[in-house]
Chains A and B, each alone.
Chain A
Amino acid sequence: MYKIKLEQKERVSKREELIITLSAIGIALVLSGIFIALNGVNPFVALWKVLTSALGSSYGISETLVKTIPLIFTGLAVGIALNSKLWNIGAEGQLFFGATFATAFIIYGPVLPKPLMLTVLVILGAVGGALWAAIPALLKIKFKMNEVISTLLLNYVAINIADYFLFGHWKGKDNFPYTPIFPEEARFDRIGFGRVHIGLFLALVLVVLLYIMLYHTKIGYKLRMTGSSLKAAKYAGININKTMFMVFLMSGALAGLAGVSQICGIEYKLHQHISTDYGYTGIIVAWLARSNPFIIVIFAIFLSILLKGAESLQIAMRLPAAVGIVMQALILFAILGSELFKNYNVKLIRGK
């Protein structure tokens, strides 16, 4: 008889953490490979196809970047909350609410000169997302409500609010659920590389700013302190409630920006499909990146390649769409499983 024994680890080095994360991804890829092989396709050929379709041509790279942009925003949104050990599962809803907020201005407000217009829209999107995140923040602070549940459920409410307008006041002349195409003033410029738009720069600037804030300012210190130990944070005189509230607002604002970036950067209208689960994929991105803003960019690209690759696999290999979903699930599963190895020494011992 063998027994599995778990011993809590004292401390994990960065190096060890990295090795565990990378092996988890490796294991997930191997498992995905088996799944692909069971579908009668050579997994190495499939992997090659995924990589070449995403990175093998300038078109592929540009499209990968287009999908990376919203994932950076939502990855940052979830990541900043995770730094304070807060789970924001509501990035999807905040994305939609931010987009709806900005769209309201486009529909009811004046058409301003482009730089001013875009500034207003970006601010409104961030404010919208922050407002939507303020609800679970207040629920947590005032009533100790678990933010995992409240943020998740509010997603459906936010999407339904967007639907309310799309099927009602904002619907198209043809009675279909989308707003009119936005005027030129309300569109992000493209940077001259496929459909990649200036939302990418906005995202990258925020990555740098958040990194500086987190690791080189007092606010960032308070934030991380709240995450590592509530008791210690209180002892150090940090106002926990205020910090949590601020974190939620920032998190929501970032997700709201993902919404603006989608409607003004690529869709040019509000409709039901402005997000292909970017709010949820952002959770995987943030978790894989251990909430480090720079590493979030890397994993946003990684997941973008994977999501895009799943489409190419259907076209080139005739694999079902489910393959992509299974691969994503396996990666998340492996990463969550690897937590065990991060926090414990797992030993196989011979028992009686």
Chain B
Amino acid sequence: MKKLFWIFVTIAAVMLIAGCGGSTAKGEKLKAGFVYVGPVEDAGWTKSHDDGRLAMEELDFVGESVFVESVPEGADAVRVITELAESGCNMIFTTSFGYMDPTLEVAAKYPDVTFLHATGYKTDVNYTNYMGKMYQSKYLAGIVAGNMSESGKLGYVAPFPIPEVVRLINAYTLGAQSVNPDATVQVLWTNSWFDPVHEKEAANTMIADGCDVITQGTDSAGPQEAAEAAGVYSIGYDSDMSMFAPTAHLTAPVWYWGVYYKDVATKVHNGTWTNEPIWWDMGTGITGLSPYSDAVPQEVKDQVAEVKVSILDDDQIFTGPLYDNMGKERVKDGVALTDGEKLSIQWFVKGVKGKIPEAK
């Protein structure tokens, strides 16, 4: 028993010496706090925000930032956001839809702090929302998929039937159909943003069903690994996922949040920040395609480059005639969906094999 005691004492002593409490940087630099829905190493959505956070830290008036990962999207988030505000953050970024109301609640109590919420739609004097037009990059990815697929059957592992996800699936489908009018997109829901096992299973199910290009709206690299193992092509999402599927991964529509985060930090620093919500175009660089793999032929790359220019010039992705997947005409010839209609879209375009649960 005595021996045991001394072992503990030694361990305790080692621990005391091992780490020295972290001290924070001094000075009047801006401090940013981030609330993440998944782990930083999710290789997808959260990773893309963390890359943006690090890019923002490069600005000389921005100090060391702090993040909290895997925060539940409910009452727990209120506490985390409050603690970030209490710890002296000047800007707090909350990066998942479920943080919309919790952030709004905390923002009212800390008027000197700027709160920014990704993917939502609410605002307050010191609170706004931000997003990028990812559907444009998804459309380009669809062109790649439509070209590379032999069966014309594409698989899409999707998280939730919410407007943002529906919009991206539609854009991807329209992109694929622009080069192969018969292309179809099979959708399987996982009902979770981050669930590597479930996502992988969903991908495998679609591969077994004949889908030969797999992509995803979820955050883990599970679908990529499934495609790599099965020897079919894949298109990543959020971040470059090629390291998980070196041969399968063709490209990925990705987020470059650093572009926006640097902009916000600069404006907050200069005192020119406003609470106007933003939904940035691909042209700002907030979204784009990650580097292609060698499997993508030059003519496909050229085609994508050409379409990209035309989208930047005049975005006609959601311009009629558009039919939903039940055959009903949704957008008349020559009519374009407004931004508001795009943001609330709740129907699939023709060629999407999947169902959106009906509200009452």
A: residues with CB less than 8 A from B are 30, 33-34, 36-37, 39-45, 53, 59, 63, 66-67, 160, 163-164, 167-171, 174-177, 195, 262, 266-267, 271-274, 276, 308, 311-312, 314-318, 320-322
Q: Across the two chains, which residue of chain A brings its CB closest to B359? A: A171
Known contacts A41-B22, A42-B18, A271-B98: A63-B67 contact under CB 8 Å: no
Within the assembled complex, what's the spacing in Å between the Cα atoms of A168 and B98? 18
B75 A66 Cβ-Cβ under 8 A: yes
Pick from B67, B79, B344 the residue with the most CB of A within 10 Å: B79
Q: Which of B47-86 contact A (CB under 8 A)?
A: 66-76, 78-80, 82-84
Other-chain contact of B68, A42, A167, A267, A321 (Cβ < 8 Å): A321
B-chain residues with CB within 8 Å of residue A322 when the two chains form the complex:
39
B14 A37 Cβ-Cβ under 8 A: yes
| A-B interface contact total, Cβ < 8 Å | 121
Other-chain contact of B83, A171, A262, A312 (Cβ < 8 Å): A312
Q: Across the two chains, which residue of chain B brings its CB closest to A314? A: B68
- B8 in the interface (beta carbon within 8 A): yes
Within the assembled complex, what's the spacing in Å between the Cα atoms of A271 and B77? 14
B359 A63 Cβ-Cβ under 8 A: no
Known contacts A42-B15, A168-B359, A315-B87: A273-B22 contact under CB 8 Å: no
B39 A321 Cβ-Cβ under 8 A: yes
Known contacts A167-B357, A169-B360, A174-B121: A37-B162 contact under CB 8 Å: no
B40 A30 Cβ-Cβ under 8 A: no
Within the assembled complex, what's the spacing in Å between the Cα atoms of A37 and B11? 11
* B interface bracket (residues with beta carbon within 8 Å of A): 35 or more
B339 → A minimal CB distance (Å):
15
Q: Across the two chains, which residue of chain A brings its CB closest to B74? A: A273
B75 A320 Cβ-Cβ under 8 A: no
Within the assembled complex, what's the spacing in Å between the Cα atoms of A238 and B11? 52
B74 → A minimal CB distance (Å):
4
Q: Across the two chains, which residue of chain B brings its CB closest to A181? A: B101
- B295 in the interface (beta carbon within 8 A): no
Q: Which of B314-360 contact A (CB under 8 A)?
A: 344, 346, 357-360
Contacts A/B (CB < 8 Å), 17 sampled: A30-B8, A37-B15, A40-B19, A168-B358, A169-B360, A175-B163, A176-B97, A177-B160, A267-B74, A271-B98, A272-B73, A274-B74, A308-B79, A315-B84, A316-B22, A317-B22, A320-B39
Within the assembled complex, what's the spacing in Å between the Cα atoms of A41 and B346? 48
Known contacts A168-B358, A320-B69: A30-B16 contact under CB 8 Å: no
Within the assembled complex, what's the spacing in Å between the Cα atoms of A34 and B19? 10
Supply 7 further A-B pairs (C-beta < 8 A) apart from A168-B357, A320-B40: A66-B75, A164-B357, A168-B358, A168-B359, A273-B73, A317-B22, A322-B39
Q: Across the two chains, which residue of chain B brings its CB closest to A160? A: B191
Q: Across the two chains, which residue of chain B brings its CB closest to A41? A: B19
A315 B68 Cβ-Cβ under 8 A: yes
Known contacts A315-B68, A317-B22, A321-B68: A42-B16 contact under CB 8 Å: yes
B112 → A minimal CB distance (Å):
18
Within the assembled complex, what's the spacing in Å between the Cα atoms of A46 and B71? 20
B-chain residues with CB within 8 Å of residue A175 when the two chains form the complex:
161-163, 344, 346, 359
B-chain residues with CB within 8 Å of residue A171 when the two chains form the complex:
357, 359
A222 → B minimal CB distance (Å):
39
A-chain residues with CB within 8 Å of residue B73 when the two chains form the complex:
271-273
A335 → B minimal CB distance (Å):
18
Within the assembled complex, what's the spacing in Å between the Cα atoms of A177 and B74? 12
Q: Across the two chains, which residue of chain B brings its CB closest to A57? A: B86
A-chain residues with CB within 8 Å of residue B8 when the two chains form the complex:
30
B13 → A minimal CB distance (Å):
11
- B278 in the interface (beta carbon within 8 A): no
A-chain residues with CB within 8 Å of residue B87 when the two chains form the complex:
315-316
B-chain residues with CB within 8 Å of residue A318 when the two chains form the complex:
22, 66
Other-chain contact of A34, B11, B69, B79 (Cβ < 8 Å): B11
A-chain residues with CB within 8 Å of residue B358 when the two chains form the complex:
168
- B217 in the interface (beta carbon within 8 A): no
Known contacts A43-B15, A175-B163, A175-B346: A311-B21 contact under CB 8 Å: no
Within the assembled complex, what's the spacing in Å between the Cα atoms of A168 and B356? 9
Within the assembled complex, what's the spacing in Å between the Cα atoms of A40 and B191? 37
A-chain residues with CB within 8 Å of residue B33 when the two chains form the complex:
315
- B208 in the interface (beta carbon within 8 A): no
Within the assembled complex, what's the spacing in Å between the Cα atoms of A308 and B69? 13
Q: Across the two chains, which residue of chain B brings its CB closest to A307? A: B76
Pick from A36, A167, A267 the residue with the most CB of B within 10 Å: A167
- B12 in the interface (beta carbon within 8 A): yes
B16 A44 Cβ-Cβ under 8 A: yes
A121 → B minimal CB distance (Å):
18
Q: Which of B152-196 contact A (CB under 8 A)?
A: 160-163, 191
Q: Across the two chains, which residue of chain A brings its CB closest to B68? A: A314
Known contacts A42-B21, A316-B87, A318-B66: A167-B74 contact under CB 8 Å: no
B95 → A minimal CB distance (Å):
14
Pick from A160, A164, A177, A274 the residue with the most CB of B within 10 Å: A177
Known contacts A43-B15, A308-B79: A273-B357 contact under CB 8 Å: no
A42 B19 Cβ-Cβ under 8 A: yes
B-chain residues with CB within 8 Å of residue A59 when the two chains form the complex:
82
Q: Which of B121-135 contact A (CB under 8 A)?
A: 121
Within the assembled complex, what's the spacing in Å between the Cα atoms of A260 and B16? 44
